[in-house]
Each structure stands twice: as structure tokens, then as C-alpha cells.
Structure 1
Amino acid sequence: MSSPEPPGRRGATLPLLASEIRVLFRRRRTWAMLIALAAVPVLVAVAVRISEGRAEDGRGPALIGAIAGNGLFVGVASLVLAIPLFLPLTIGVVAGDTIAGEASQGTLRYLLVVPAGRTRLLVVKFLGSAVFAIAAPLAIVLAGTLIGWALFPIGPVTLLSGDQVPVAEGLLRLLLIGLYVAVAMLGMTAIGLFVSTVTDVPVGAMAATVVLAVASEVLDQLPQIAWLHPFLFTDSWLGLIDLLRQPPLLSTFGTNALLQGAYVLVFGALAYGRMTTRDVLA
């Protein structure tokens, strides 16, 4: 069991968090994943440009087809394409490595004994992963906006409701959509944190986190268990489309935040229980 944190450790959370974020973004793996995510809108924009914006009817392709008329749709279409696999994969890698990575390198004992208590370490690790969960969709939005501006005309955005909004509001909504997706990934981040506390093998924790996300997505597609869908952490992932209506359905943002917050509380508590009962110093 963990003992109360000494008074000298109080107030050290911010320096420890800053150190965690620096370490995370100094890793080549982190930048490789962000660059890979940023490449998604580039590939989408180039493909649409080469094909002159022709697309078949359908939900995803319809968004892609709108790119030719307005480059601001590159970011939205790319997020829709990245959400089912690419974003969960990168989030799972970072979240699964939080505790298991330290354990496999032999640094977990040092972190617990010297600068941080177990609770503080869990909070810092989660917040560090949450920063990446914010950076990942924003990388897609930024790359999509830049490549869309370079290859396609930019003008008033025609929303799903048929209304048009100015470019400035379109950019604001694009940023809001990126933040919506970031919030949508927090539940998975908490799940990865918990899984990372039950193993010393980071690859196993990463794989388990991604598999759980894929399993949740599969369950979310089965109409026979529709009653379960609102409780799945992936159920609100594609709700970003509601932010392209006039007025935007901000209630969807709130529902998404409440759902992910519940997962953060539950799996954060499970991670805390695991860390406070596990003899990681032996």
C-alpha cells in the first residue's frame, strides 16, 4: 500500500507533468505518429485533387466530395477517416506505454520512491497522455487546413443543414471539431492507463488497448445490442458531424464529455486501485 505523500512533494505536480510532456515529445516515436496522422489529410487532398473531386454517393465519400468545393472540408473528412483506426492506434500506443513502459525500463521504482507518489504519478501519466490525445486530432486539423488552403478554393462553408457560414466561423468550427475528437479519446486514454498498470510489457498494454477500442467499435455496429451502444466509449466518436449543423448541436459535445468523463473516473479508479495494491518496489 502507498503511504501519504510527504509535504515536500506537494506542489511538485506541475514540474513532474512538464517533465513528462517533454519526454513524450522528445521521442521519435511520438513525432512519427503525429507526422503519420498529418499525412492522412495530405493523401486525401492529393487524391481528391488528382481525381478532380469525383466521388461516389455515401456518407464518407460525400464529405470527401465536398473538398473540391471548399478546402476546409479536408480536415473534417480526414478526421472521419482517421477515427476508426489511426487515432485509436496512436492513442493506444501512448496510453499503453504510460506505466508499463516505465516498469519495463526499470524506472518505475525510482519515480515512486524519489519524486512522486503513486497517485501523483497516475495523474501525471494520464495528463501527459491526454496532451497527446489533444495534439493528435489537432495535427490532422492543422495539416488538413493547410493542404486544403493550398490545393482547393476556400470560401463560406456550406453546413449539413444547407446554411452557409463565413470562413472565420468555419475555421472555429473546425477547431471545435478537433477538440471534440480529443475529448472523445480521453476514455480510451484512461483505459490504456489502467491496462498499463496490470502488465510490465508495454507492447502488450498497447495492443490490448487498441483491441478493446476495435471491439467497442464492432459492438457499436450491432443493432441487436442497441441498448448497449450509449455506454460504449466509442459510441460518440463520430458525433462530430453534429457540429456541422446550424445551429451546432452542442448537446452532442456535452454527451460526449459526460461519457468520456465516466470512463476516466471508472478506469482511473481501477488504475489507482491497482497501483496502490501492487508491490512495484519489490
Structure 2
Amino acid sequence: MSVAEAPAAPVRRFSSRFLRSELRLIAVRRRNQAGFAALAAVPIVLAVAMKVATPDSSDRPGGGPDFFAQITGNGFFVALAALGVELTLFLPIAIAMVAGDAVAGEADQGTLRYLLTVPVGRTRLLAVKYAGIVACSFLAPLVVAVSGLGIGLILFGGGDVTLLSGTQAGLGEALLRLLSVCLFLGVCLSALGAVGLFLSTLTVQPMAATITLTMLSVASFVLGQIPQLDWLHPYLLTQHWRDFGELLRDPVSFDALTPGLLSAGAYILVFLTAAWARFAGRDIAS
């Protein structure tokens, strides 16, 4: 057979099977299910507590816009208040569990070498793992928002929503703004997930990566509250997370949202590149 008559090399078609398998694996893990259940439980506890006794708004946890004072007048604000509360710890922990387990979990269970001999290229493996992290990053705030919205409307009712700018918005428009808040936070949490993916390539112990990422997010919030470190604030991962309040003004100031999106994009680019550089040259022993 001549060279001209040699059969062409088969073209590998794109398949979503690996991605679907990864998403299914994330969904069936008990610790992930427990984590998302905890995310959904916090708004319920918050709403019941507000129904039983209205606390002083000055004692509310965290910073950012004060949605607690408006909860009793409109249950819509339970979702926003819960997002503000969970943003400092619970949401980062949920993403840290998934991101820390991405590569280190496979190495810990001895399945990483098997995945790479299927064959699955290392770049494709990292891409699929990060896609699973991104999916959870967008799902987590949605879980909090849906849980808070549901229990809020049940206990306090709904109606027109007073935005932070003082204008009124119908419930339909308010729901679109709440969805936009969840999408913005999803981008922010995806940046945290990129850092977690990098940490997951450094160890074979998923708990080590999870704890490290959680500590980094908490440290970022703490450093952001120290005025003497104002020169550092623009570079902190969590510095712009609370800018989601801009989506509840009329009109929305997209210029105020841009720094947060650019910061998240920079973190994603830097740490995904670092994860690829680390994982591409790593010896796989398990």
C-alpha cells in the first residue's frame, strides 16, 4: 500500500462523557450532599430566628449592605441576607471541599494513574475537574438563594422590593436581580476554585488542600478589614465579593462590578496556569 493509500488517522470526536461522569461523581459524594444541605439550612434557621425575635441590625454578622432590617417586611431579603452571611465562610468551605478533592482525591484513592491511562490527557483532566468546580461554584449561591427565597416568602410574604437606591421593583425584576447576584458570586467562587485546583495538584491529601483553601479565604476577609493594609486590599481574592450589592441599585453601576470580575478573571488565569504547569510535569505514583 502506498503512502497515498494509507488510511487516515481516526479523528477523535469531542465527548461529554468524562464531564458527565465527573459531575455525577461530585453529586453522589455524601460530604458534598451534606455541604449543600448545610448551605440550604442556614437561610431556614435565619428566617425562623427573625420570625421568633427581631435582632438589632447592628449585631448582624459580616459587612456589606444591611438586608436584615428589611426581612420582616419582605421575605425576598432572606435570600440576600443569607448570601451575605454564608459568603464569608460556608460558601468558601463548600467550594473548598470540591476543589481540594479534584486531583488530590483521585491520587488519594489511587485512581489518578488509571484516569491518565484511559487515555485522558492531563490538560483535559484538569479542564474537566475545573468544569466540575465551576458548576458547583454557580450552584452553591443558587441553593442558598432558592432556600432563602422559599422560606422567606412562606414566613414573611412577598411583594414589591425596595432596592438599595430607594426605588421600587416588582418581584419579577427582583428575582432577575437575585439571579444576577448569584451569577456574580458564581464567578467569584470560580476564582476561589481555581486556587483550590492548584492546591489540589500540590498534595495527595484532599483534606490538606481543603483546609488550606478555607484558611486562605478567611485570611483574605480578615486582611480586608484592616485599614492599615489598604495597599493590599485591591489584590485580595475576596475584596470585591460584597460588590454584589451594586446589582440591587437602580441603575446598576457596572463600573463598580468590573474590578471584581477582573480580579476573579486574573485569579482564574494565574492559578489555572499554575495548576497546569504543576500537573503537566508531575510524576504520578498513584
Residue 239, structure 1, aligned to residue 243, structure 2: yes
Query: Residue 237 of structure 1: CA displacement?
Result: 1.0
1:147 alignment counterpart: 151
Distance 1:277 1:149 in 2: 53
Aligned letter for 1:196? S
| Cα offsets for 1:108-158 (capped at 9, x unmatched) | 001111141000000100110110111111000000111011001211111
The partner residue of 1:218 within 211, 215, 222 is 222
Task: Confirm or deny that 1:201 pairs with 2:205.
Answer: yes
What's the CA shift string for 1:151-206, capped at 9, x where partnerless? 01211111111111111111111111111111111111000000000100111111
Aligned pair 1:170/2:174, yes or no? yes
Deviation of 1:243 after TM superposition, in Å, equals: 1.2
- Mapped pair 1:66 → 2:70: yes
Aligned positions of 1:35-54 closer than 5 A = 35-51=37-53, 53-54=54-55
User: Gapped runs of 5+ residues in structure 2?
Assistant: 1-8
In the superposition, the TM-score normalised over structure 2's length comes to 0.91
Which residue of the partner structure matches residue 56 of structure 1?
A: 57
Residues 220-229 or 265-274, more deviating = 220-229
Once the two structures are TM-superposed, the CA of residue 255 in structure 1 deviates from its matched residue by: 2.5
Instruction: Name the TM-score, length of structure 1 as normaliser.
Output: 0.93
Partner of 1:124: 128
Q: Matches of 1:224 and 1:54 in 2, distance apart?
A: 31
Partner amino acid, structure 2, of 1:56: S
Q: Give the distance between the partners of 1:34 and 1:238, measured in 2 at CA.
A: 21
Q: Contact 1:137–1:181 at 8 Å: present in 2 too?
A: yes
Match of 1:28 in 2: 30
Taking the aligned partners of 2:12 and 2:201, their CA distance within structure 1 comes to 22
AA aligned to 2:52 is I
Alignment match, 1:3: none
Residue aligning to 1:274:
278
Whole-Å separation in 2 of the counterparts to 1:124 and 1:22: 12
> Partners in 1 of 2:58 and 2:215 — Cα distance?
31
Percent of matched pairs sharing the same residue: 45
Q: CA RMSD in A?
A: 1.8
Shift of 1:276: 1.1
- The number of aligned residues is 275
- Please, which runs of 5 or more residues in structure 1 have no aligned partner? 1-5
Report the CA distance between 1:58 and its aligned residue.
6.5
Q: Deviations over 1:18-71 (max 9, x none)?
A: 1100111011211111110001110111011111x4533467594112100000
**2: CA distance between counterparts of 1:117 and 1:181?**
31
The match for 1:137 among 126, 129, 141 is: 141
Cα 1:150/1:18, change in 2 over 3 Å: same
Question: What is the rounded CA distance, in whole Å, between the counterparts of 1:94 and 1:233 in structure 2?
Answer: 18
Q: After the TM superposition, which of the residue ranges 208-217 and 33-42 deviates more from structure 2? A: 208-217
